[in-house]
Structures are given as structure tokens and as C-alpha cells.
Copies of this chain bind each other. A is one copy, B any other.
């Protein structure tokens, strides 16, 4: 049984441990906002350069792309690597944690598809 389900068993409602709350809010922060998922999805697709991302993600401004990439880097979701060529090549890649997000994306996709089905059927 899942950790959460166990925690919620009727006859033994426990306080939600703080580390669970931290883990959940971490996760929410990583995927929240207008551009995080498009960026992560683009990186999963193999679009790794600033310009690739800008072209791949419709209507994102360089300011937002730069801001979000920095935040993802600070949170160890994305790694930034500079290749000293000309013109300079800068490559953004997903860290292991970043790649592991695909499991979460699957869960989101599954819930979203099931929910749409539920809502339409009723």
C-alpha cells in the first residue's frame, strides 16, 4: 500500500510528517508555473540549447526561458555546460532527478486523461 494511503487509514490517522510536506512542496515547485513542463519536456526530447528551446517552446520570451532555466539549475533539475567553441555552445541537460520526473509526468498524464473521461461520461 502507498505511504499516503497507509497514513490515512481511518483508525490510525497520523499527522502528516513534515518531511512529507517538504517533499510534496518541492515537487510542486519544480513543476509549477507556465513554462516548467514545456521546458522539461523539450529537454527530454533532446532540445538542449537555449535557441532550440526558444524555438521549440512557442511564445516563451528569452527572459522567462533564462529565468526558468536558472531556477531549474539551482534546484538540481537541469545542468548547464559550457563548451568553449565559437560560436559558444551551451548545453542544458536534465540531471538524474530531472530525468526521473518522467514517472511523475506519466502519473499526471494518466490522472488527467482519466479525469477528462470521468467528466465527459457524467
Contact residues of A with B, CB < 8 Å? 2-5, 8, 10, 13, 16, 19-20, 22-28, 30-32, 37, 41, 44-46, 76, 95-97, 100-116, 118-119, 122
Contact = CB atoms under 8 A, between A and B. Distances in A.
Contacts of A113: 19-20, 23
A97 B113 CA distance: 11
Looking at chain A's contact residues, the main secondary structure is: helix
A4 B105 contact: yes
Contact of A103 (B30, B95, B107): B107
A46 B19 CA distance: 22
A8 B114 CA distance: 21
A26 B97 contact: no
A30 B16 CA distance: 21
25 contacts: A3-B106, A4-B109, A8-B45, A8-B102, A10-B46, A22-B112, A22-B116, A23-B111, A24-B108, A24-B112, A25-B112, A26-B112, A27-B112, A27-B115, A28-B31, A28-B37, A28-B108, A96-B118, A97-B115, A97-B118, A100-B111, A103-B110, A103-B111, A104-B111, A106-B107
